[in-house]
A and B are shown apart, each in its own frame.
Chain A
């Protein structure tokens, strides 16, 4: 084992963890500002200049709130479930390439935590694991609303996980790898059509796959218009009804970190990640991810919530057949492109 490389990777992992937490805090600020602007309000502006200290004030407030454990709750599971959600969420950022390799103090540093050959599978597995935090928390609360919210969430996430997984098969057919670093490298080679240079971003060759991925990703992170697990008009808070204080905020943190991670993943898989027309770098990735995060908030202000049967029907009857068609078509076109047909 190369200890120097190991240490530099770990330091980068530590930075990524903390940046994700910081970004998450300011994601709530960004969301409140954008929501406010779209609803003709001002949004947070009292705490610090432009209300920039608002996330910190919120954090301190939640830290100082009483932590209530209901008397019928399964105590141990109730206490551990939010931690599980929180711990798993930022780990998917470990395989996102934030750039190539730079030299710091004479040491080669990779701008990704780990380049594993099943990176996309690993991210999907983490998404599936994330359900455990929700369903254990909902079950342990011993509250009807929590249980129902948790079950809904589990059914929704596993249904959309299939669409998410199948929508990416087209990308793997084109790139021939599951490693995000190599998928990024494949997208950095521009295509040439009669002298015209076109970026080889997979959104151009996989438009249907991209749309399916986007819909499934919004459902996977339990965001509007697919936020049925926490539909406040019928289930109060859903799975986190009984949670208070910092344990509640852990679920909240996990949801926002998942949004950021999915946005980074979408930017890397379909929009060429750190690749840009000029000066490739992490800023391109940040700009593309910010676009997706804005899209999340835009959806929330624009669309009403789905009904549960519509939600499940959409996944199984519309998106799943479309994903299968996308795979068959992509394969056919690729065969033709290779001259094997």
Chain B
């Protein structure tokens, strides 16, 4: 088991080395002639006037919070699913209670408009 992770770690290092080598190889052949106009942020040919890191809607934060709740739900369901047979009917009822509480939460968020984008 631990050996499996070690092989994956080594694979990760190999991938990093391969990627870096490709980028360094490119440095030997590619031109580098920066001009002020080339280094402007792309703005469809119009001079850029607004600050580069623009403000954006807080809905993205709401989605991130919802994600945390439901991803943890999924993680809690995995051990139950794997030991479904030993846990039997009792485990199933417990999981359904857990699911219904989260489903109620989802319905509440839905009703409150947290899932509406516009």
- A residues with a Cβ closer than 8 A to B are 1-2, 5-6, 9-10, 13-14, 16-17, 63-72, 83, 86-87, 90-91, 94, 113-117, 121, 139, 141-145, 147-148, 151, 154-155, 158-159, 161-162, 165-166, 169-170, 172-173, 176-178, 236, 241-242, 245-247, 250, 308-309, 312-313, 316-317, 320-321, 324, 327-328, 331-332, 334-335, 338, 340-341
Contact = CB atoms under 8 A, between A and B. Distances in A.
Contact of A327 (B25, B42, B99, B117): B99
Contact of A68 (B34, B75, B96): B34
13 contacts: A63-B26, A71-B39, A113-B11, A116-B8, A144-B50, A158-B71, A162-B70, A169-B77, A173-B81, A173-B84, A245-B26, A331-B84, A331-B96
B67 interface: yes
Nearest to A121: B78
A338 B92 CA distance: 13
Interface string B64-97: 1011001101110110011111001100100110
Interface residues of B, dominant DSSP: helix
Given A147-B54, A176-B84, A335-B89, A154 B30 contact: no
Main SS class of interface, A:
helix
B70 A327 contact: no
Interface string B20-59: 1011011101111110101111111000001011101000
A195 to B, nearest CB: 26
B30 A66 contact: yes
Given A71-B39, A87-B12, A312-B115, A331 B92 contact: yes
Contacts of A170: 81
Contact of B82 (A114, A115, A176, A316): A176
B7 A165 contact: no
A17 B32 CA distance: 30
A335 B88 contact: yes
